[in-house]
Amino acid sequence: MSKQREEACAALLRQARMVVDAEGTGEAALHKVKDLLVGLADQRTSLFPSGDFAMPDAQGRNHILALEDGDGMGLYLTIGLPGKEAAPHDHGIWCVNAAIAGREVHKFYRRTDDGSRDGYASVEEIGEVMVAPGQGMAMADHAIHATVVVGDEPAIGLALYGYALARFPSVVWFHPDLSSVRAGVSRRAEAA
């Protein structure tokens, strides 16, 4: 990794940590973190030249840029090939994205059942955001979203999560057409 990119990513983590420690992870704080991430992504030519990052063989790939020690945040460069989709899911932790190149649609959902039946869930779409160069999105803990890469070029972006991917809580996947839900295995116990 270039020294300049390493320093810029470490600075972003420090700035994001200051916001989160001072203001929490509510909508206003995550919007500030999103603006920081969009600013970093806007330096795409000098910090994130495409030749520095391997393209995925299929669908998508994450490249680690910076990780906080312990139970901290993780910053990644993400690449999604055209047409890559992710069904509605809940990371269990907040996330902020900003685009370097390409376009990715994020559709947001709200759970409409009370969660009392195992394997059953109903969700409804409540909005969407296009993440493209100069734009980003932020979502709070337990927000539900789905993604799709649109257009003919890969979506290359930055993703900042409240925990590093290796320490993610259980990701919950929703299938709106079948009114079903399933939870993945938490990685937090493995990483401890």
Q: What is the pTM of this model?
A: 0.92
* The pLDDT of residue 190: 56
Residue burial 92-102, b: 16+ Cβ < 10 Å; e: rest: bbbbbbbbbbb
**Are 16 and 36 within 8 A, CB to CB?**
yes
Q: Closest Cα partner for 128 from 114, 143, 113?
A: 143
Domains in the chain, CATH or no CATH each:
3-191 (2.60.120.10)
> Residue 50: its pLDDT value, please?
84
Per DSSP, the three-state class of 17 is: helix
Rounded Cα distance, 118 and 62, in Å: 32
Write the CA distances from 169 to 100, 143, 152, 187, 189, integer angstroms.
27, 13, 33, 6, 9
Q: What is the pLDDT of residues 20-37, one digit of tens each?
A: 999 999 999 999 999 999
